[in-house]
A and B are shown apart, each in its own frame.
Chain A
C-alpha cells in the first residue's frame, strides 16, 4: 500500500505540478519557436529540391543527382546523429558565421535538414500525381516549363499533398524534443532537469500534455482534410 502511495505521489503530486508547469512551459516555448521556423523553412526548401529533382534534360543531371544525394543522406541518417553532426560539428568547424550560433539555431538547422528530405519526397509524389496531360495542356498554350509548373502543376500538387505534409509536420513537432541532446533547453530537457531536482515525474507528464495539445489538433485537422477530399471526389463521381 505504501509503495503504491509513493508511486502515485511521484506522478501525481499536485504541488509538483504547480512548480513543473511554468518550468516546462518556458522550455516548450523554444519547441514552439523551432517548430514554426523549421516548418516554414521546410515548406520552401523541400519544394525547391523537389522541383530540382524533376528538372528535365541532360543538362540538369548533376543538379538532379545532388538533390537525390541530399534526400538519401538525410532520410537515411538518424535524426539524433544529424543533431550531433550539426550541434557539435558546426562549432568545431571554427567558421565564424556558422560556428558561433546558438544551440537552438543548430536545432532548427537539424530539423530543417532532416524534414526537408522527407517533405521533398512528399512534394515529388504530388507533382508526379498531376497527370501529364495537364502539363501538355499548359505547354501547348505557350507557357514555358517554369510557368507550367508555377501556375498549373505545383498548385494542384500542393493541394493534393497537404495531408501527408501535415503528417510529417506532426513528426517534426515531436522531434523538436530530440535536439535536446545537443543542449537545447526545450521542454523535454527542462522536464528532465526538473525531475532530477525533485525526484518525481510530473514534469514529464506536463511535457507530454504540451506536445499532445499541439499535435492532436493538427492530426484531427489532417483527418478532416482527407475526409473532405474523399467527400468531394465522391460527389464528383456522381
Chain B
C-alpha cells in the first residue's frame, strides 16, 4: 500500500481528499460520515457571522454533464457554526477546514475572528461565490486589490491558523490574484470555485430552472480548467500550497491534480456522480495506480509535472 498522507500548511491529512465546501457540509454528523466514507478532511459549508438566507428552490439541478447550483449560501450564523464545529472537533476526527464568507471586507475579519475561536485546523475564505452577485456585486476574487484586502483582514484576526483563499476561475489572470493573496499573507489557495454563473432554461415553461436564474457551474468538464490554473499558479508561485478543486471524480483525476501542484484535492460534485462512497473509491484507485507505477508515497507526486517533463509546458 502506498502512503497517501500529505501535509498541507503544517496540517497532516491521512489522504489528500477533502470534502469541498458547500457539499454535505451543514452538520458535524454529516462531516463525520464523510470522513467515515474515506475523506482525508472536510470543509464546512460557507459560514456567515449572522444568519444568511439562501435562494428559493430550485437551487440545484444536475445531469450527466454538469451541475448548476445557486443555493445562495444559507447559514444560521456563527453560533451554530461554533456548536457544529466544536462537536466535530471533539470527536478528534480528520482535519476541519472552516470555510467563511462575508459581504464586506471588515465582516470577513469579524467572521474569521469568531471562527478562529473554535480552532479549526485551517480557515478557508470564500471570496469567489458566483451566485450571490445580486446581493454583493462582483466577487472579491475578481480584483487583485479586494482579494488582498480580505486576506490581510483575515490574517490579522486568526493568530497562527493557516488561511487558504478560495479563488475564482472567472477572472482574466488567476495567477495575478494568487500572487496578490500570497503577498498579503495567505498560507495557501484553493483552485477553484465553480465557474460562471451559467443558466439553464426549461423550454416547456420558457423560464430558467433555478429560482435565482443563474448559478455556479461544476462537474467533470471543469477539471482541465482547474488543472491548467493549478499548473499556472504552481509555476509562478512554487511555494504556495494548493487545494485543487474542480471536476475530480476518480483516483486518476486526483493524481493529475497533484502532479500539476495540488497538495490536497477537493471533491464536490464527485459525490453526485459516484455517491457518498466516492472518497473510498478514489483512494482505492489512487492505490491501484501507485502500485502499477511503483509509487511509494503519493506526496512525491506533488508538482512533478514541473520537474523534467514539465519543461515542455508552454501555456
A, B assembled together: no
